[in-house]
Amino acid sequence: MADDRKATLVHISGRVQGVSFRIWTKTQAQRFGLTGWVRNEDDGSVTALIAGQDAAVSAMLEQFWNGPVGASVSSVVTKQASLDEAPSDFRITS
């Protein structure tokens, strides 16, 4: 049901650039059936918009704390977003 869908903007800090975090995020998001995007930020963090079923979004938020091999996540901050902001697929943006 559409009522079970939500979108969340996520800001991930720590050692998250230079460890294939964006590629890992895209792979995980697709595995969970999520749409959205992920990008590197100038301050060394990563921002992602994830959208999909509530349970899948929650599972992805837990996965962000692990990240890919080589990552060391120190912070995962979330903010509610609009489903209208999410694309129909999952993209790595610049």
Residues with catalytic roles = 22, 40
CA distance 43 to 84: 27
Kindly state the tokens that stand for 84.
């209208």
Strand extents, DSSP E, the chain:
5-15, 35-40, 46-53, 72-81, 90-92
